[in-house]
Amino acid sequence: MSLRSKFILFAAVLHGLLALMAYFLLQQNVYLFLGMELLILVSVFITAQLYSTFFKPLSLIRAGIQSIKDKDFSTKFMGVGQKELDELINVYNRMIDQLRHERVAQAEKHYFLEKLIQASPAGILLLGFDNQVEHVNPAAEQYLQQPAANLIGKHVSQLPKVWAGQLTQLQTGSSITFRVNGIRTYRCHRAHFLDRGFQHYFVLIEELTEAILQNERQAYEKVIRMMSHEVNNSAGAVNSILGSLQYYAPQLTQDHREDFDNALQVAIDRNTNLSRFMANFANVVRIPKPKKVKADLHEMLRNMALLLQPELQRRTIVCNLQLTPQPLFIHLDQQQLEQVLLNVLKNAMEAIGENGEITITTQQTPVRLTITDTGSGIPENVRASLFTPFFSTKEYGQGIGLTMVREILVNHGFPFSLESDSEAGITTFSVSFPE
């Protein structure tokens, strides 16, 4: 039974007893009966006042609780002229004002944080209790090269292959740095925050590619310049001495002259090859800034396929050109990009060896070039080092071909990627051309 029902029952019983007493007094004395009737009227009036005083605040509290349940913090109550009730109203109004201010401040902070996350150049993955992705910002979409719809709800072990392997083993409070396809370098840091008393985890992703490329470039430029200076000086002096020695060849007997001439020529050729070897390294350092002009990418690809046609035929390799019907005009340095295409296609031919297929594909929207070969694929342990200066898987490779490709495309501002499936034996090199 509610408090209201108890009060009404009590008032009804009390006034029923008073009415019964008034009935007995009516039998004895009319004046006492009238006095009792007056007392009953006064009691009813006082009871009504007490009812209003007791239960009006309860109604007020009930209405306030309902407003809070409905998250309506704009409803306030006016004073009624009763001291006790007005004090309760003032407390409620102050509480509602505080809740409204807190709610607005919380909403503003949440909005600001959401905008900050969306605009952040660092990638952010918000994770749930079981390491499932709950939110992905645009930078993380770009780094993982997948839209948020394909990432949200997935466990970190279901992310793209390289990312899954690295983030699965990343512990809270620690960082890890790794390369994706040997091109892009990322640093990931895992941490947590409290939200409504529960721990939530997030992964902060920073791209270090530009900084690392700059440091690498400065380091190998200094080394190459120093080596080139020493080798060229030594080779020049030695060649001069060897040239002088050839002056004495006629003084030798006929039996010794041929061996003498051959030995000198071998030494001169070796010095020349050494100088050419160093010149190849120096060319990486001396790559000029691209002089961009409007050029037809399709014409460049056809010319390159024609140039390599004899070697393709010798190796029995089919080159398929799957180009869009309309020309693709792009602002680029034609000479430098031809060097990129030559390096990539030669690598594709060497990866195939003999009896294979190279497919060159272009697309209009977005503008992209894709070169796919059916070679043996690139082993997982090699991919991270592919674009590292001086790294080569070839027996006599110098490790400057892909380094030059990287330098030229980075200087142009053309994003690129290299993906390989060792099991299927397919390697794909892609270049995007921002409009």
Neighbours of 374 (CB within 10 A): 19
Greatest mean pLDDT range, 247-256, 272-281, 314-323: 314-323
- Angle ∠(386,391,392) on CA atoms, nearest 5: 85
pTM above threshold 0.85: no
- What letter would DSSP give residue 112? H
Give the model's pLDDT for residue 57.
65
Check residues 416 and 213 and name the one with the higher pLDDT: 416
Please report which confidence band the pLDDT of residue 80 belongs to, taking 50, 70 and 90 as the band edges. Answer: low
Residue type, 80: V
In CATH terms, the superfamily for domain 293-432 is Histidine kinase-like ATPase, C-terminal domain (3.30.565.10)
* Alpha carbons within 13 A on the beta-carbon side of 397: 17
Domain ranges of the chain: 3-107, 120-207, 212-285, 293-432
What is the Cα–Cα distance from 286 to 108, expressed in whole angstroms?
A: 52
Give the model's pLDDT for residue 157.
87
Contacts of 182 (CB under 8 A, 6+ apart): 383, 384, 385, 386, 387, 388, 418
Please report which confidence band the pLDDT of residue 92 belongs to, taking 50, 70 and 90 as the band edges. Answer: confident
**CA-wise closest residue to 185 among 346, 410, 422:** 410
CATH class of 120-207: alpha beta
Q: What percent of the chain has pLDDT over 70?
A: 70
Greatest mean pLDDT range, 16-20, 25-29, 286-290, 331-335: 331-335
Contact 178, 380 (CB under 8 A): no
- pLDDT 10s digits, 203-253: 988 877 666 666 666 666 666 676 666 666 667 677 777 666 666 666 666
Contact 123, 145 (CB under 8 A): no
The residues facing 420 across adjacent strands are 427
- pLDDT 10s digits, 136-185: 989 888 888 888 888 888 888 888 878 888 888 888 888 888 777 666 77
- pLDDT 10s digits, 326-335: 888 999 988 8
